[in-house]
Amino acid sequence: MTGTSPEAAPPVPARRRPVPMARKIAAGVLVAVAIVVPLLVNTYASEKPRLWGFPFFFWYQLMWVLISAAVTFAAYLLIEGRRR
Amino acid sequence: MTAAAAHGINGVQLGVVVFFFVVVSIGGFFAARWKRPQSLHSLEEWGLGGRRFGTVVTWFLLGGDLYTAYTFVAVPAAMFALGSVSGFFAVPYTIVVYPLIFVFMPRLWSVSHRKGYVTPADFVRGRYDSRLLALAVAVTGIVATMPYIALQLVGIQAVLDTIGFGGTGSAFAKDLPLIIAFVVLAAYTYSSGLRAPALIAFVKDMLIYLVIIVAVVYVAWKIGFGNIFDAAQKKFTTPNPKTHKVPGSFIPPNQQYWAYTTLALGSAMALFMYPHSVTGVLAARSRRVVRRNAAILPAYSLMLGFLALLGFAAIYSHTSVIGQDGKPNAQLAAPHWFAQVFPSWFAGVALAAIGIGALVPAAIMSIAASNLFTRNIYRDLLRPNATPREEARVSKIVSLVVKFGALAFVLFLDRQNALNFQLLGGVWIMQTFLAIVAGLYTRWFHRWALLLGWAAAIVYGTVAAYRTHSPTVTHFASSLAPFPFTDTKVYIAVSAIVINIVVSVVLTALFRIVRVPAGIDDTVADDFYSESAAEQVAPQDAPSLAGERTG
C-alpha cells in the first residue's frame, strides 16, 4: 500500500489485494456464529424469562437480529475495512 | 367507525392509497431519466440499471425487493392463525440469510461483473458449459417466480378488500382497481426497467418503516406487549373443544424444533436463488456494496419481527378477518387490525405501504424472469446472435407477458392455486442452490450429475408437497413433511436438497471415473474476486492514478 510509485504501477490490477489468512479465518468464524447460533431452537424455545412483556423466545431472536448484524459488520470490516 | 369489515368503501383510506399510488407511478415513469443512461436498449441498462447502484440505493432496492406485500400480509396472518412455527421462523430466516449472502454473493457479483452475466443461469452456463443445466436453472427460476408475482396481487387484494372493494357486484368491477394498478405498473416497468422499482423502493420502505414504528409505539403504549403475548398464549394453548387440539404453537414444542430450524435455514438458502434477489445484487455498483449491504439489511429483519407480532396484536384486539365475501381470511389480520385501531387516514397510509410493497417486488420479479427468458431461452436456444438491443426488446415484451400471466392467474384461478405454487416454488428454487453456490467455489461437480441431482430433487419435492394434507386441504397443505426414513417433520426443500447433493456427489464420482466430458469452464479463479473499476484502487492511491489516466 505504501512505497510503490504510482507512475511505475502497471495498469490497475483487476484483482484486489489478498486478505491475510488470519483475517479471513476470524471473519469466517464470526459469520459461522451468526448463521448457526440463531438456528439452535432448543437453546431459546422457552417462555421465561420475560423482558418488557416479551417471552424469552421472542426477545432473544429479536436481539439476535442486532447481534448478527453487528457480527456481520465486524466481518465486513475485517475483510474490506482495511483498504480504506 | 372502527368495525373492520364495514361494508362500503372507506373514502379516506381510498384517497390516501390513491395519492401514494399516483406519486409512485409518476416516479416510476420519471425513473427512466435517473442516472442518465445513454440508452435503455440493453439488458445491462434496462434489466440491471447499468450495474450502477451504490450502497443506499441497493439497500432500498433489496429491502423493497425481498420484503414483499405478501410477506406483510402472510407473516402476521400465520402468527394470527397458526402461531410461531408458521410465522416467526421468518425472523431467524432473515437473520441467517445475510451472513450467508455475505459469504457467497460477492463471488457471484464479481464473476457476473467480469463476464457480463445478467442471470444466475448465465453463470451456470459459463461455468459448466451446459446449456441444458442453464436451461434447468432458468426454467426453475421463471416457474418459481410466476406464482410469487401472483401472490403480490393477493397482497393488493387484501388491501382492496379492507378498503371495501369486492364482495357483491360484477367480477370485473370488483377487480378493476387491481387491473388498473397492474397496467400502470407494467407500463412504467416497460419504459424504465429496473430503475423504476429502485426509485419506488424509497417510498415503499419509508412508508413501511413509518407504519411499523407507529404500530410498535401504539402497542407498547396503549396495549402493552405483555398483553398481546398473553392473548396469543391463551389462544394457542387452549384446545379446540371439538378436536381437542390446540390451534397452533405459541412457542415451538420439542417435536417442532427441526421444523422451525429447517424452515428458517431452507428459506434463507432459497431466498438468494430467486432471480429477483440475484437481479438486485447484480445491479450493485461494486463487490463492497454487496458486502456492506449484508451488514445493514438486517434493519429490515427487525421491522419484520415486529410486523409478525402484529398478528398477535390482532388476536388481542379480536380483529375480525371476515372479508367482503363474508368468508374468514387470516390474510386480512394485519390490514384489518390497522383499520380497526387507527384513524382512517393512517390506516390508509398503512394500506398504501402494503400496496406499494407489492409493486416493487412485482416489477423486479417480472424483470428478472424476463431476463432469464431472454438470455437463457431466447438467446441460448433460439437466437444465438441476438444483439443487446434485441435482447432488451424481447425482455421488455416478456415482462408484460409475465405480469399479465400473473394477473390472469389471480383473477381466473382459485387463490389456493397461487399459494400451492408458491410453496412448490420455494422447494424448486432451492434445487438450483447446489449448481450455483457450489459452482462459485469448485468445479468438482459434473454438469450431468448436477442436472440429474436437480431432477431427482424436483420430483421428490413435488411429490412430498403434493402428499401433505390437512383436515381442510387435501394436497399441498404444508411445507413440512417427514424427513425420508424418519418421523421428524422438516421443510421439504431441505430434504430435497439433501437428495440433490447425494445424487450429485455420487454421479459426479461415477462420471469422473468413466470420464464423461465435463465441458470447458469459461471462468478462471481470478474472476471470482474482480472489482469494479471504481473500487479497484484504495482511495488514498486514487488521486494519483486518476491524474495519470486523465493527464
Structural domain includes residue A67: yes
> Which amino acid does the sequence have at B103?
V
In this model, does residue B3 exceed pLDDT 50? Answer: no
Q: Are B129 and B67 in contact (CB under 8 A)?
A: no
More confident residue, B478 or B343: B343
Percent of chain B with pLDDT over 70: 91
For helices B298-316 and B90-115, the axis angle rounded to 10 degrees is: 150
CB B257 within 8 A of CB B486: no
Mean pLDDT of B62-68: 82
The residue among B102, B212, B237 with the most chain A CBs within 10 A of its CB, best to mutate, is B102
**Which residues of B are less than 8 Å from A54 in CB distance?**
225-226, 229
Please name every residue paired with B53 in a beta bridge, in sequence order, or none if there are none: B284
Burial of B113 (C-beta count, 10 Å sphere; 0-12/13-18/19+): buried
**B401 within domain boundaries:** yes
Per-residue pLDDT, B498: 92
Window from B131-135, B244-248, B358-362 with minimum mean pLDDT: B244-248
Cα distances from B382 to residues B131, B174, B386, B391, B407, in angstroms, run: 12, 41, 9, 12, 27
Give B490's strand partners: B481
Distances, alpha carbon B505 to alpha carbons A38, B392, B437, B488, B508, in Å = 29, 38, 15, 25, 5
Residue B211 has pLDDT above 50, yes or no: yes
Q: Measured between alpha carbons, how far is B260 from B336 in angstroms, rounded to an integer?
A: 28
**For residue B539, what pLDDT is reported?**
40
Specify the residue for cell string 469459461. Answer: B522
- Domain annotation covers residue A58: yes
Q: Are B48 and B118 in contact (CB under 8 A)?
A: yes
Q: Does B286 touch chain A (CB under 8 A)?
A: no
Instruction: Specify the range with the lowest mean pLDDT, choosing from A23-37, B294-308, B529-543.
Output: B529-543
Total count of domains within chain A: 1
- Asked whether residue B449 is assigned to any structural domain, the reply reads no
Of residues B331, B48, B323, the one with CA closest to residue B193: B48
Judge: A84–B538 Cβ closer than 8 Å, yes or no: yes
Predicted confidence (pLDDT) at residue B156 exceeds the cutoff of 70 = yes
Of B344 and B31, the structure prediction assigns the larger pLDDT to B344
Residue from the list B264, B301, B526 with its beta carbon closest to the beta carbon of A65:
B301
Using pLDDT thresholds of 50, 70 and 90, give the confidence band for residue B533.
low
Q: How far is CA A8 from the centre of its chain?
A: 36
- Residue A11 included in any domain: no
Q: Is residue A12 part of a domain?
A: no
Instruction: Report pLDDT digits (tens) over B427-451.
Output: 899 999 988 998 888 888 888 899 9
- What is the rounded average pLDDT for all residues in chain B? 81
Alpha helices, H only, B255-297: 257-271, 275-282, 287-296
Q: Per-residue pLDDT for B363 more than 60?
A: yes
**Among B418, B316, B407, B404, which residue's Cα sits nearest to residue B74?**
B418
pLDDT for the residue B317: 82
Say what the pLDDT of residue B168 is.
Answer: 58
- Our count of domains for chain B comes to 1
> Which chain B positions have a beta carbon within 8 Å of A57's beta carbon?
84, 88, 251-252
Question: In angstroms, what separates the C-alpha of A17 from chain B's closest C-alpha?
Answer: 9
- Interchain CB distance below 8 Å, B95 and A65: yes
Query: Would you tell me which residues 504-533 of chain B have a C-beta closer than 8 angstroms to some C-beta of chain A?
Result: 526, 529-531, 533
Res B35: pLDDT: 65
Q: Which residues of A touch B531 (CB under 8 A)?
A: 14-16
β-bridge mates for residue B482, sequence order:
B489
Please give the pLDDT value at position B187.
84
Chain A residues with CB under 8 Å of B305 CB are 58, 61-62, 65
Is the model's pLDDT at B542 over the cut of 50? no
Beta bridge partners of A54: A51
Which residues from chain A sit within 8 angstroms of residue B233, using beta carbons?
47, 55
pLDDT value for B1: 38
The verdict on residue B113 lying in a domain is yes
Cell of A8: 511505475
Task: Give me the residue from B257, B291, B536 closest to A41, CB to CB.
Answer: B257
pLDDT at B473 over 60: yes
Instruction: Say whether pLDDT at B110 is over 60.
Output: yes
Per-residue model confidence as pLDDT tens digits over A2-61: 444 444 444 444 455 677 788 888 888 888 888 888 888 888 877 788 788 888 888 898
* Nearest residue in A to B551, CA atom: A7
The rounded distance, in Å, linking the Cα atoms of B114 and B112 is 5
Cβ-in-10-Å burial (0-12, 13-18, 19+) of B240 comes to exposed
Q: What is the secondary structure of B483-539 as a DSSP string? A: PTTSS-EEEHHHHHHHHHHHHHHHHHHHHHHTT---------GGGGGB--GGGSS-G
Residue in A with minimal Cα distance to B114? A14
Q: Give buried/exposed letters for B530-542 (b at 16+ CB in 10 A, else e).
A: bbbeebbbeeebe
Residue B174 grid coordinates: 370488483
pLDDT band with cut points at 50, 70 and 90 for residue B478? confident
Which chain A residues are closer than 8 Å to B530 by Cβ?
14-15
Q: Is the dihedral of CA B490, B469, B330, B81 positive or negative?
A: negative
Identify all chain B residues contacting A78, using CB atoms and an 8 Å cutoff: none
Domain containing B204 equals: 11-28+45-414
pLDDT number for residue B429: 92
* Confidence band of B541 (pLDDT split at 50, 70, 90): very low
Residue B504 to residue B493: CA distance in whole angstroms:
16
Whether the per-residue pLDDT at B532 is higher than 80: the answer is: no
pLDDT at B501: 92
- Of chain B residues 221-280, which have a CB less than 8 A from chain A? 224-227, 229, 233, 250-254, 257, 260-261, 264-265
Query: Considering only alpha carbons, which residue of chain A is nearest residue B540?
Result: A84
Nearest CB to B102 within list A38, A41, A75: A75
What tens digit of pLDDT does each residue of B412-433 get? 777 677 777 777 888 899 999 9
If you measure CA to CA, which chain A residue comes closest to B232? A55
Specify if A27 maps to a domain: yes
Give the pLDDT of residue B502.
Answer: 92
C-alpha–C-alpha distance, residues B75 and B77, integer Å? 5
Would residue A3 count as lying in a domain? no
**A34 contacts on B by Cβ (under 8 Å):** 95-96, 98-99
Q: Rounded to whole angstroms, how far apart are CA atoms B302 and A80? A: 25
**So what's the ipTM on this one?**
0.77
In sequence order, which residues have a C-beta less than 8 Å from that of residue B394 and are 6 or more positions away?
A: B370, B373, B374, B378, B386
Element (H, E) at B396: helix B388-412
pLDDT digits (tens, 9 = 90+) for B167-191: 655 566 677 888 888 888 888 888 8
CATH number of the domain at B137, please.
1.20.1730.10
H helices present in chain A, as ranges: 21-36, 56-79
Residue A1's CB is within 10 A of a number of other CB atoms, namely 9
Interface of A with B (CB under 8 A): 1, 6-7, 9, 12-16, 31, 34-35, 38-42, 45-47, 50, 52-55, 57-58, 61-62, 64-66, 68-69, 71-73, 75-76, 79-80, 83-84
**B55 touches A: beta carbon within 8 Å:** no
* Residue B114 at interface with chain A, using a CB cutoff of 8 Å: yes
Residue B506 has pLDDT above 60, yes or no: yes
Q: Which domain holds residue A56?
A: 18-83
B488 touches chain A (CB under 8 A): no
Model pLDDT, residue B113: 85
The residues that bridge with B481 in the sheet, in sequence order, are: B490
DSSP labels, B17-68? HHHHHHHHHHHHHHGGGTT--S-S-SHHHHTTGGG-B-HHHHHHHHHHHHS-
Residue A79: its chain B contacts at CB < 8 A? 291
- B437, part of any domain: no
Q: Cα-Cα-Cα-Cα dihedral of B233, B236, B241, B242, to 10°?
A: 170
pLDDT exceeds 60 at position B543: no
Contact B195, B35 (CB under 8 A): yes
Q: What is the mean pLDDT of residues B294-319?
A: 85
Q: How would residue A83 be classed by pLDDT, with cut points 50, 70 and 90?
A: low
Does residue B543 fall inside a structural domain?
no
B254 contact residues in A (CB cutoff 8 A): 45
Taking residues B200-219, report their average pLDDT: 87
